[in-house]
Amino acid sequence: LYDMLVIDTWETDVALMAAHHLFAITLWPISSNLGYYQSWVLWFLSTEVSSIFLAFRWMLSESDRKRTPAYALNGLIFTGLFISIRVIPIPVWSLSYLLAPSPTEVHPGFTEVPRYATWCGYACLIPLALNAFWGYKVVIGFIKSANEFFSHDENPTK
């Protein structure tokens, strides 16, 4: 939540980011409690490694280092990580979702599969769509930053 509340990386998508984080905070404990969709939750958590570079980007931006090699390298690493761990696996995860049977095991505390457990499964598709959307924005942002970095204007835009 720190990056959402403090770092203005996603300044144009604040409502979407807030919904995304609140949604995750709600669904992950349900998954953990029921034992369903835990591989999805682990994948979603592992993709957060790319967020480290958002914090670096913010620090470099705030210290007026947007046109430095460090900023460019950070952007390259972030874009590469984001695309490789969040976007490229989307077809595989989508296919696994479509081919997987509905959950049939019941957590010892329940006598039947709760209705919201099935709803949580459908909800796992939302982050795939969001990562595809944000992946597009990341690539466009990287191209814009690279163009600014390599331009020789005296007054670069921020």
pLDDT in tens, the chain (158 residues): 555 566 555 556 777 777 777 777 777 777 777 767 777 788 888 888 988 998 898 899 889 998 899 999 999 999 999 999 999 999 988 887 777 655 545 455 555 666 666 677 777 788 888 889 989 999 998 998 888 878 855 555 54
pTM of the model: 0.74
Comparing C-alpha atoms, which of 108, 104, 103 is closest to residue 40?
A: 103
Residue 120 CA: distances (Å) to CA of 52, 69, 103, 110, 117:
27, 43, 11, 16, 5
pLDDT for the residue numbered 14:
72
pLDDT for res 151:
82
Residue 1 has a pLDDT of 56
Burial readout 78-99 (b: 16 or more C-beta within 10 A, e: otherwise): bbebbbebbbeebeebeeeeee
**Cβ–Cβ under 8 Å, residues 45 and 124:** no
**pLDDT score at 124:** 77
Q: What is the pLDDT of residue 39?
A: 78
Q: Give residue 16's identity as a one-letter amino acid code.
A: L
